[in-house]
Chain A
């Protein structure tokens, strides 16, 4: 292959949003050759008790693209060490290790998508399905001075949920945020959305 030594992948980093974690790195380039990569991980247990043990990633041992979805490998809220190496035929590079261990409690939590609908006088919300890790904190109220804010915890997204029966002519407003048990954190609130029984959604 004319390649004596295969360079190790560089610039490892993890992008994590809403508990989806992707490890990326700069591709190793060898003209007219296809490079494969292998990803391995160590949780805090492995690095404390058996630092020589690395576990092959569920989806990327091997893989072709310079990225790896490690979501299924990160299954505890502890620091995880991650490493990647390149292979070309029988040639393998040295391992490159992520500079700082990754902990899922650093994931970016975005306000969830929501769809507010009226079923007759019924106010119904359908939340973005973000997976089993997510619960939703729904706040809703009638838009009038001194109105009381009601709260409902919704365990799963993707299914319509009845919030309340609306009064004709009054605007009813909703905002939502997510909560992730595994890391004990919640997102910011979504935009508030209001509907009126006869009218269309009134963005604030």
Chain B
């Protein structure tokens, strides 16, 4: 069967198609709320040319941020827009992925870890430069960019 392989980190038990279906079910209503079209949080410098070795660190940092900050602060909107079921599917599958990622903490991986951290900080800084609610709305609307990038590691 297919699984995620973020460099050394292998993740089974998640069907990417289910995540896409969940996001597609709410994409229009979610992205319609994002009025700041001049900014992209998950921009090229964050996700392009990520090495296999970096990918585990980066996906771990991004998913942790999404679960702890984006989803947590978007939940009331999910209730308001009646998209709780799709929202729950995404959130719970992100938890499955997170629970299976074990990025190595070995010294030799310091430079790779740092490179991934710099990419994540680019994303986080852009997030913090926006008004809080606008940033959460934009980040949640960019889950398709995240899933597209994750697809590179689904084999």
Chain A interface residues toward B at CB < 8 A:
43-46, 48-50, 53, 55, 58, 73, 75-78, 105, 132-133, 135, 179-184
Contact = CB atoms under 8 A, between A and B. Distances in A.
Interface of B: 1-3, 12-15, 17-18, 22, 67, 71-72, 75, 79, 84-85, 88-89, 91-96
Greatest chain B CB density within 10 A among A73, A132, A135, A181 is at A181
Given A48-B95, A78-B92, A184-B12, 8 more contacts: A49-B67, A50-B75, A53-B75, A53-B79, A73-B85, A76-B89, A78-B96, A132-B17
A43 B12 contact: no
A77 B96 contact: yes
B96 A76 contact: yes
A76 B1 contact: no
A78 B99 CA distance: 10
Given A53-B75, A75-B22, A181 B15 contact: yes
Contact of A43 (B2, B75, B92): B92
Contacts of B1: 135, 179-181, 184
User: By CB atoms of chain B within 10 A, which of A49, A75, A78 has the most?
Assistant: A75
Contacts, number: 72
B19 to A, nearest CB: 9
A76 B85 contact: no
A182 B11 CA distance: 11
B85 A45 contact: no
Contact of A76 (B67, B72, B93): B93
A132 B94 CA distance: 21
A132 B84 CA distance: 23
B15 A133 contact: yes
A119 B72 CA distance: 57
